[in-house]
Amino acid sequence: MIIRGGIIYDPTNGIFGEEMDLCIEKGRVVEDAKGEEIDARGLLVMPGGVDAHSHIAGGKVNTGRIMRPDDSRSGVEPRTRVCRPSTGYTVPNCYAIGYRYAKLGYTTAFEAATPIISARHTHEELEEIPIVDKGALTLFGNNWQVMESVRDKDIAKLSAFIAWGLRAARGYGVKIVNPGGGEAWGFGSNVKGIHDTVPNFDITPADIIRGLAQANEMLRLPHSIHLHFNNLGKPGNYATAIETLELLKDIKPSRMRQVVHVAHMQFSAYGGTSWRDFESKAPAIADYMNQNSHATMDMGQLLFGSATTMTADAPLEYSNARLTHNKWSNLDLELEEASGVVPMIYFRKALVNAIQWAIGLELALLTKDSWKVLMTTDHPNGSPFVNYPEVISLLMSKPKRDAEMATLHEQVSKRTVLANVDRELDWGDITVMTRAAPARVLGLEDKGHLGIGADADIAIYDLKPEDVDPSMDYQLVKKAMATTKYTIKSGLIVAKQGEILAVPEGRTYWVDASVPKADMDRLMIDLNEKFEKYYSIRLSNYMVQDAYIPNPAVIKAGLELESGSLVKEVA
């Protein structure tokens, strides 16, 4: 297949809007090819989108679906020749997730939080999401084994547990959610800062974060730790955010990437002492990000309308439920995590929501290096991912932001600096934030770019970047970004002008890390005891079997040791 004459944006390879032909063969970008030709003369061509933080599969998502029959009613689309029926808006059914990502030009999406014990469920749902390649980050922040190893300052054993946990969950990376807070929630409380003590463990969230970061780098995992801060969603929490980032400054990354990726920074950039004097501290966060280079973040942009909040941060969901008098689901997962789900509507007229809306945009616009900010809405916490085109048009157009600001509470321009931010992102920045940077942050070498050998995941938009001024024609931009002219996944045209043409099965990435046998043996003594004493299931039934990952893409990692001392099969 050859794509003729597109205006290519491929920031990883230093290409910003050059007219080029793209050749595809056997699902990869190649030097030369024959066969079908696609006329893309003058059209915007980007690598397929990569969503590094999205809640698309697993127990929480399904609980959201069960709690929200009202949501299932919206977004109903009947089956077609190739598609199964779609339902839902904030919590769509599995099929709809694949189709809608493909229509947006996205070809990779990562589920952001899976407890090991419910990973099998996550993979059952991931398997049913068509088209896109996917993976799932595994939760470690409130796990007893993690906290015990941190208390004993045994980073080698902690590394062994991470390797074992990733294999057990067929997971991709280390996700940490409100470390220590989930454990405290078991006793009806929370940790109030990173130096607060976790009940019964004599350690602090700071210890857990540092321990996991060190183990993550010891194992040379493709992704860094992926951190949901303590105190998330509370006024004044920007101080916790900066304090936590300072904690990780001295840790050396084991690969060419960040040491920590911060999830949905918007929810952690709050000033004020209560919701009454709530204000944006995005400028402080952006300043910190501009001066330091060990961290990346994703926006977690909030948009007005319906959302469903779901997180392993159970105490946060309790306060959400109390605040909104809405439905609330709460779950405790044995020795591993807690979680919660609360439906939410963000109102344009509510001052707090309007400030939150502005904070996400400020973070993206005030951080000078686009490679440090991924565009997300923390689907479906801030807004469903189908609204990415709205976020893109807001980032690219000051007039659009001004028009939106004019409809908001007058206090918004006093409590945020968004009105004074003139920066408008260009197509290069947008390609970085939605493709190149997420792939680099996750450590996916074949994604997010169009160099020779890259996966042939390509999005062609019905928009001529040379004729359109995104600043003025923001409506055109939003419309064009909502449906691709062509979405190509592994060299196959999967969507054309909003119609799904093919539904290939995507791959599931997971990380297989090797650790010294001695460490693994020491770990198994602990784990056997835990399963014997506390767990509701047996160790032999705990691991996710290969049958649940029909199309695996395994990335090898682990400790580099002399041959013979490596454990290939860790369990």
Partner 1 sequence: MRTIIIRLIHSIQISLEAESISPDKFAPLTLSQINALEIWQGNRKMKLEDFFQVDGDEGSAKTEDMFVRLEGDFSRIKRLVEGMSNGIVEVYGNVGMHAGAKMKGGILRIMGDASDWLGREMQGGKITVSGNVGNYAGSGYRGEKCGMRGGEVEIHGNAGALLGEHMCGGSIFVHGDVGDFPGSLNQGGTIIIGGSTYLPGAEMGNGTITIKGPARLLPSYQQLEIVDIEGIKYRKYVGDLVENGKGELFLAEAQSS
Q: Provide the minimum distance between the beta carbon of 304 and partner 1 in the complex, in angstroms, as a whole number.
A: 17
Q: Is 499 in the site for partner 1 (CB under 8 A)?
A: no
Q: Provide the minimum distance between the beta carbon of 571 and partner 1 in the complex, in angstroms, as a whole number.
A: 41
For 338-377, give the DSSP string: EEEEEEEEE-TT-HHHHHHHHHHHHHHHHSS-GGGEE---
How far apart are the C-alpha atoms of 111 and 55, rounded to whole Å? 5
Letters for 275-314 (x = contact with partner 1 by CB under 8 A, - = none) are: ----------------------------------------
Q: Provide the minimum distance between the beta carbon of 306 and partner 1 in the complex, in angstroms, as a whole number.
A: 11
Residue 71 or 111 having the CB closest to partner 1: 71
Q: Is 134 helix (H, G, I), strand (E, B) or coil?
A: strand
Select the residue interacting with partner 1 from 53, 55, 60, 68 (CB under 8 A): 68
Residue 71 or 336 having the CB closest to partner 1: 71
Q: Which of residues 28-67 bind partner 1 (CB under 8 A)?
A: 67
Q: Provide the minimum distance between the beta carbon of 78 and partner 1 in the complex, in angstroms, as a whole number.
A: 8
How far apart are the C-alpha atoms of 390 and 193, rounded to whole Å? 34
Instruction: Kindly tell me the sign of the dihedral angle through the C-alpha atoms of 89, 382, 350, 67.
Output: positive
Chain mean position to CA 93: 19
Q: Is 175 in the site for partner 1 (CB under 8 A)?
A: no
Tell me if 308 sits within 8 A of 381, measured CB to CB.
yes
Q: Is 69 in the site for partner 1 (CB under 8 A)?
A: yes
Q: Provide the minimum distance between the beta carbon of 87 and partner 1 in the complex, in angstroms, as a whole number.
A: 13
How far apart are the C-alpha atoms of 454 and 47, rounded to whole Å? 9
Q: Which amino acid is at 231?
A: N
Q: Is 91 in the site for partner 1 (CB under 8 A)?
A: no
Let me know the angle formed at the C-alpha of 318 by 314 and 320, rounded to the nearest 5 degrees. Answer: 115
Residue 309 or 393 having the CB closest to partner 1: 309
Beta-bridged to residue 100, according to DSSP, are: none
How far apart are the C-alpha atoms of 419 and 398, rounded to whole Å? 9
Residue 80 or 475 having the CB closest to partner 1: 80
Strands (E), 68-143: 106-114, 133-139
Instruction: Kindly tell me the sign of the dihedral angle through the C-alpha atoms of 377, 380, 386, 387.
Output: negative
Select the residue interacting with partner 1 from 18, 39, 70, 521 (CB under 8 A): 70
Q: What does DSSP say about strands 37-39 and 44-47: parallel, antiparallel, or unpaired?
A: unpaired
Residue 60 or 507 having the CB closest to partner 1: 60
DSSP 77: B
Q: Provide the minimum distance between the beta carbon of 186 and partner 1 in the complex, in angstroms, as a whole number.
A: 29
Residue 266 or 306 having the CB closest to partner 1: 306
- Please work out the total of residues on this chain that contact partner 1, with binding judged by CB under 8 A: 10
Residue 195 or 349 having the CB closest to partner 1: 349
Among the residue ranges 71-79, 162-170, 505-513, 548-556, the one whose residues contact partner 1 (CB under 8 A):
71-79
Q: What does DSSP say about strands 508-516 and 552-558: parallel, antiparallel, or unpaired?
A: parallel
Q: Provide the minimum distance between the beta carbon of 59 and partner 1 in the complex, in angstroms, as a whole number.
A: 19
Select the residue interacting with partner 1 from 71, 125, 337, 424 (CB under 8 A): 71
Q: Provide the minimum distance between the beta carbon of 187 and partner 1 in the complex, in angstroms, as a whole number.
A: 29
Residue 304 or 371 having the CB closest to partner 1: 304
How far apart are the C-alpha atoms of 106 and 98, rounded to whole Å? 9
Tell me if 371 sits within 8 A of 432, measured CB to CB.
yes
Residue 85 or 399 having the CB closest to partner 1: 85
Tell me if 486 sits within 8 A of 107, measured CB to CB.
no
Q: Provide the minimum distance between the beta carbon of 353 and partner 1 in the complex, in angstroms, as a whole number.
A: 17
Q: Which two tokens stand for residue 244?
A: 């936590």
Q: Is 346 in the site for partner 1 (CB under 8 A)?
A: no
Residue 72 or 330 having the CB closest to partner 1: 72
Q: What share of residues in the chain are helix, strand, coil (percent, to 5)?
A: 35, 25, 40
How far apart are the C-alpha atoms of 196 and 184, rounded to whole Å? 11
Three-state secondary structure string covering 383-440: CCHHHHHHHHHHHHCHHHHHHHHCCCCCCHHHHCCHHHCCCCCCHHHHHHHHHHHHHH
Which among 126, 58, 27, 61 has a CA at the least distance from the CA of 551? Answer: 126
Q: Is 81 in the site for partner 1 (CB under 8 A)?
A: no
| 130 phi and psi angles, rounded to 5 deg | -80, 165
Q: Is 73 in the site for partner 1 (CB under 8 A)?
A: yes
Q: Provide the minimum distance between the beta carbon of 70 and partner 1 in the complex, in angstroms, as a whole number.
A: 4
Among the residue ranges 72-80, 107-115, 126-134, 288-296, the one whose residues contact partner 1 (CB under 8 A):
72-80
Q: Provide the minimum distance between the beta carbon of 323 and partner 1 in the complex, in angstroms, as a whole number.
A: 15
Residue 68 or 294 having the CB closest to partner 1: 68
Q: Provide the minimum distance between the beta carbon of 546 and partner 1 in the complex, in angstroms, as a whole number.
A: 36
Residue 345 or 518 having the CB closest to partner 1: 345
Tell me if 380 sits within 8 A of 90, measured CB to CB.
yes
Residue 71 or 217 having the CB closest to partner 1: 71
Q: Which two tokens stand for residue 308?
A: 């469903």
Q: Provide the minimum distance between the beta carbon of 73 and partner 1 in the complex, in angstroms, as a whole number.
A: 7
Q: Is 78 in the site for partner 1 (CB under 8 A)?
A: yes
Contacting positions for partner 1 (CB under 8 A): 67-73, 78-79, 326
